[in-house]
Structure 1
């Protein structure tokens, strides 16, 4: 496999060096693997920290900045960051108002963030935690006990980040993050496997002419494999899988997310089909976001995330944000 890297062992550090060069508004600690907004800690503001294995960019480092995260901790590719990173991040962003850890439901992430919370609290930092587990495809996975955390992470980080930017206290920011998670569901589809730098080849076998319905962001198996389907058919399957568990009379936010190797031409076409299905199911769309946001290296495919919103969540979603991967209203 051809990859634009030097050696597999330095791929994360090299990416962080590039991020530091491209985004002077961030403080990028390459040695300790922590990305922090340069003005942190912000006086009177709750700090938001998230993180996970690299390979899902722009999640999470691309979402550090005003209106979203205060810090992110990148692990090695598809590998959880370690507690020391999280403790450093919490200390860097704590203004005395506490820190919210936003954790995707993968076993390594959960264990390490739990340990980091204990260590940070020992150092006098008040910590709250929210677990993101929005994937409806499977209940237990190769990496999880319970549902996986996927596209809803973006909604949680954006809406909780807006509330924190407005000065909401820690318990309110955590409650809103929890509400967003409970109001969101996702379903992903893979058209090809992804390639990790360490392996240098596909991480799983997906024969030509087949797709994986319900794939995880590390390539974990989903519900079933089928012969290749049209965008129309995939949208029907994915949206119906989400709506089976997200009954709503409220408007929804829609994320049509690329897995890393799907061109925008295809994603926008798929977004049109998602809107068609939602219209047929009489679901009102408040806003739609299309692009590569929660990726899986070079996997071809897409995921659909719906988030049921009320007036407050919608207002917070529309609030200004200025990060490398998401920005509006600034």
Structure 2
């Protein structure tokens, strides 16, 4: 294992410390317990958005703290859920009197710990709503979930719900738009090579040089099936087929196409995947209204990619385009 780390037990702490120093104009780091808030939190009268999960998916979630997205992010240990004693103070720290929305990826630990923190926050007088992101069409159940996993669609939920919160929508309205995104987004990923968790010191699963894993999650867990290596167009077709079968997008509808790197894939390869995915959509008369390509929700240094398709309506487009200023996404500011 070769990694730019010091002590495997201090990776998250030192990484967050560096992130906070690099983006001190945007965020504040709270070390004990560990969580990150936007610099101007809490904002009175604004719904607070809180998300989090195991570290190793950077820039998710800390990279999306700021104007037009999250008010707080709660990083757990590597690929491990944050604890309620982190989530609770993050929630209360961003409560500006309009309530707080928890955006939770569908992994058992995240669900349970955010649920506990929400109950504790309610006991302290904070109104909390929760949405569960479950966009991964690869599997129905895994070691980490009951039901579908939350993957690339999480970024889109945080951006669009964040735009709604920033314009002053109520807690119920922000929750509703977040759920609408969840209901209309689907994802699937592929791994060309596994990642290595620092404290484990070895790859999370084994692939030979001529194998790929279709349907992987973002924690290094194996996917739906293992096949021989194919070219980019063939792999892209394998990812798009179940997405479109599940989402049932009709000709003439508008979508956002998001091609995401898993941490170890060059941008040049991601654009090759995007090229073919867009061709497949346009061949069915589907309009690609907005796009996102890059490493936005990763699995450490895993080689691979995921594709996410979001069915858009006019309000989603307006909120997507609204000003955002975070470490990882910024436009219109």
**TM more than 0.5:** yes
- Residue 60 of structure 2 corresponds to which residue in structure 1? 59
- Residue 112 of structure 1 corresponds to which residue in structure 2? 113
- Residue 271 of structure 2 corresponds to which residue in structure 1? 268
| C-alpha contact 2:205 2:222 (8 A) present in aligned 1 | no
Unaligned runs of 5+ in 1: none
Q: 1:1-330, aligned counterparts within 5 Å?
A: 1-24=1-24, 25-249=26-250, 250-330=253-333
Q: Distance in 1 between matches of 2:248 and 2:30?
A: 43
What is the deviation of 1:199?
1.1
| C-alpha contact 2:137 2:148 (8 A) present in aligned 1 | yes
| C-alpha contact 1:235 1:277 (8 A) present in aligned 2 | no
What is the deviation of 1:237?
1.0
| C-alpha contact 2:204 2:221 (8 A) present in aligned 1 | no
What is the deviation of 1:238?
0.7
What is the deviation of 1:236?
0.9
Q: Is the partner of 2:247 in helix, strand or coil? A: coil
Q: Distance in 2 between matches of 1:31 and 1:122?
A: 22
- TM-score, normalisation: structure 1: 0.99
What is the deviation of 1:246?
0.7
What is the deviation of 1:241?
1.2
Deviations 1:271-308 (A, max 9, x none): 11111111122211011100000100010000000000
Unaligned runs of 5+ in 2: none
| C-alpha contact 2:270 2:305 (8 A) present in aligned 1 | yes
Q: Distance in 2 between matches of 1:258 and 1:28?
A: 26
Deviations 1:25-55 (A, max 9, x none): 2101123111000101111100000000000
What is the deviation of 1:221?
2.1
Q: Is the partner of 1:244 in helix, strand or coil? A: helix
Q: Distance in 2 between matches of 1:61 and 1:33?
A: 12
- TM-score, normalisation: structure 2: 0.98
Deviates more, 1:280-289 or 1:254-263: 280-289
Deviates more, 1:234-243 or 1:183-192: 234-243
| C-alpha contact 1:236 1:274 (8 A) present in aligned 2 | yes
| C-alpha contact 1:80 1:108 (8 A) present in aligned 2 | yes
Deviation >2 Å, runs of 4+:
none
Q: Distance in 1 between matches of 2:34 and 2:287?
A: 41
Aligned length: 330
Q: Distance in 1 between matches of 2:325 and 2:20?
A: 16
Q: Is the partner of 1:245 in helix, strand or coil? A: helix
Deviations 1:104-161 (A, max 9, x none): 0000000000000000000000000000000000100110000000001001000000
| C-alpha contact 1:255 1:289 (8 A) present in aligned 2 | yes
| C-alpha contact 1:257 1:304 (8 A) present in aligned 2 | yes
